């Protein structure tokens, strides 16, 4: 690959690894850690792992890769290479949780197999273990209820992969990407990959000519699609192979 300044923005769940029944079960396998390490150690690359995961998860799993950006909670928190975590905006009030949490707990009571995850800036109702059609039906009901309730706030309810997440509207990967891009001037190759609606914010921001890749089925703004996380990992492996071939 002839590009001299490459910016790679990668989602995690559903993009580099398959979804799991519970968030804490998705620790990266050695193959993913090796792949990210190989990409990040290349001096021509700026790699950003942009996830909905809390900062604590990303630090625990990827903190040893010191040359890589970490972006937590869809962009609410960022950790530049070799630095500490910083919020995309500050201060960030979280007193709204006491109002939203009882509503989510009510839906847990109505939906066997569902549960609530609390993050620093967000609350998430997961229904991956619920009966699929019933979970999807209640997710629509929950979003409609929350949209009316949150209409005059900076909070929104977002549908994701078998979950509904309530978070600030400004906490998105497109905003976080702009922060990273501001410190990495004039990249000549932009690559972004993701599988969810949260990644569409990023795809929409990228200029023409960027490699935007949607993982899995579904409508997307991305320029390309691959079948699943294994296909995406194979594509990323070719980037590291190209590097080795060039230097041989």
pLDDT in the model for residue 166: 98
pLDDT in the model for residue 248: 28
Catalytic residues: 11
Q: Please list the residue range(s) of the chain that carry CATH number 3.30.70.1020.
A: 97-168
CATH classification number, 97-168, choose in 3.40.228.10, 1.20.120.80, 1.10.540.10, 3.30.70.1020: 3.30.70.1020
pLDDT in the model for residue 247: 33
pLDDT in the model for residue 242: 54
pLDDT in the model for residue 90: 86
pLDDT in the model for residue 241: 63
- Predicted TM-score (pTM) of the model is 0.90
Query: What dotted CATH number matches 6-89+171-247?
Result: 3.40.50.1000
pLDDT tens by residue, the chain, 248 residues: 577 889 999 999 999 999 888 877 789 999 999 999 999 998 889 999 999 999 999 999 999 998 999 999 999 999 999 999 999 998 889 999 999 999 999 999 999 999 999 999 999 999 999 999 999 999 999 999 999 999 999 999 999 889 999 999 999 999 999 999 888 878 889 999 999 988 998 999 886 789 999 999 989 999 999 999 999 999 999 888 654 433 32
In the Cβ-directed half-sphere of 11, how many Cα atoms lie within 13 Å?
Answer: 31
Q: Please list the residue range(s) of the chain that carry CATH number 3.40.50.1000.
A: 6-89+171-247
pLDDT in the model for residue 71: 98
């Amino acid at each position: 690959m002839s590009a001299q300044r490459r910016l790679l923005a990668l989602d995690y769940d559903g993009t580099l690894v398959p979804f799991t029944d519970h968030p804490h079960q998705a620790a990266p396998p050695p193959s993913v850690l090796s792949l990210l390490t190989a990409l990040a150690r290349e001096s021509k690359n700026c790699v950003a792992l942009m996830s909905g995961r809390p900062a604590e998860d990303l630090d625990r799993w990827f903190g040893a890769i010191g040359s890589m950006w970490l972006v937590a909670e869809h962009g609410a928190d960022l950790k530049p290479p070799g630095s500490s975590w910083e919020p995309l905006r500050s201060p960030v009030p979280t007193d709204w949780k006491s109002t939203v949490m009882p509503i989510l707990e009510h839906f847990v009571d109505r939906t066997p197999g569902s549960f609530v995850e609390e993050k620093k800036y967000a609350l998430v109702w997961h229904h991956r273990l619920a009966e699929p059609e019933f979970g999807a039906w209640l997710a629509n009901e929950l979003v409609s209820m929350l949209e009316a309730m949150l209409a005059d706030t900076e909070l929104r309810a977002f549908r994701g992969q078998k979950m509904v997440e309530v978070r600030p509207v400004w906490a998105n990967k497109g905003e976080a990407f702009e922060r990273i891009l501001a410190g990495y001037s004039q990249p000549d190759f932009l690559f972004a990959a993701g599988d969810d609606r949260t990644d569409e914010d990023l795809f929409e921001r990228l200029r023409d000519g960027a490699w935007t890749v949607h993982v899995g089925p579904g409508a997307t703004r991305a320029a390309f699609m691959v079948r699943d996380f294994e296909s995406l990992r194979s594509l990323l492996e070719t980037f590291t192979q190209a590097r080795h071939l060039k230097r041989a």
